[in-house]
Structure 1
Amino acid sequence: MDEMSTTDLSSCCQACGACCGYSANWPRFSIESDEELALIPEKLVNDRQSGMRCEGDRCAALQGEIGKTTACGIYQARPEVCRTCMPGDAECAMARRKFGLPAIVVA
């Protein structure tokens, strides 16, 4: 039995964070309402007001070390694009490859 099949997939993100460091274009705003966007601290919004501020490719809200232990500093208010990336999906696999992390196999 493979290791990921016995792991709670919801905990995978807290041991990864690759999607949050994949690209400065990734943590963008799309369908969020003005009320939802108002919950995101201004210091974490990029200058164009189109997404999250990034340091290089890494989202400024990401805490911790990619591939070890991570957390989102605004998890409850995170953008929709962040909510839709799921452990083991195509976006997850692409981000994990960038950091040399093995793909998550969802059984």
Structure 2
Amino acid sequence: MSEPMSDQLDASPCQGCGACCAYSSNWPRFTIEEDDALDLIPPELVNDRLSGMRCENDRCCALDGEIARAVSCRIYAIRPEVCRICMPGDAECAMARRKFGLPALP
């Protein structure tokens, strides 16, 4: 039997949220990555300007799952720096969660 969703959310708030990955098509922008790191990201997930992740509407195309329920990143191990610096409960997290009507994390 699988764990109840509330237990999964308590264990990993990001995998039960995903709001930061669907906040804005301008958010997953490349900034300080080395070219070698960017070359690891599959080309179909990079936007046409080569400046960030490809999005459908505001949602990053590397995000799988349902916002506020269960999500995962298809390229988590090689995700860009902007994705690495957004931390659970920080100002960016709170802003993204507000967009989806989710409460801020402690």
Is TM-score (shorter-chain normalized) higher than 0.5? yes
1:78 Cα deviation after fit: 0.5
Q: Which residue of structure 2 lines up, in the alignment, with residue 71 of structure 1? A: 72
1:67 Cα deviation after fit: 0.2
Task: Write the letter of the residue equivalent to 1:71.
Answer: S
1:70 Cα deviation after fit: 0.2
* Unpaired segments ≥5 residues, structure 2: 1-5
2:82 match: secondary structure: helix
Q: Does 1:86 align with 2:61?
A: no
Q: Structure 1: how far apart are the matches of 2:85 and 2:68?
A: 20
Task: Write the letter of the residue equivalent to 2:98.
Answer: R
1:86 Cα deviation after fit: 0.3
Q: Does 1:104 align with 2:98?
A: no
TM-score by length of 2: 0.90
Question: How large is the Cα RMSD of the aligned pairs?
Answer: 1.1
TM-score by length of 1: 0.89
Identity of aligned residues (%): 70
Aligned residues: 98
Q: Structure 1: how far apart are the matches of 2:101 and 2:93?
A: 12
Q: Which runs of 4+ in 1 moved over 2 A?
A: none
1:72 Cα deviation after fit: 0.5
CA deviations 1:65-101 (Å, max 9, x no partner) are 0000000010011010100000000000000000011
Q: Structure 2: how far apart are the matches of 1:47 and 1:79?
A: 16
Task: Write the letter of the residue equivalent to 2:29.
Answer: R
1:32 Cα deviation after fit: 0.5
Task: Identify, as 1 or 2, the structure richer in helix.
Answer: 1
1:46 Cα deviation after fit: 0.1
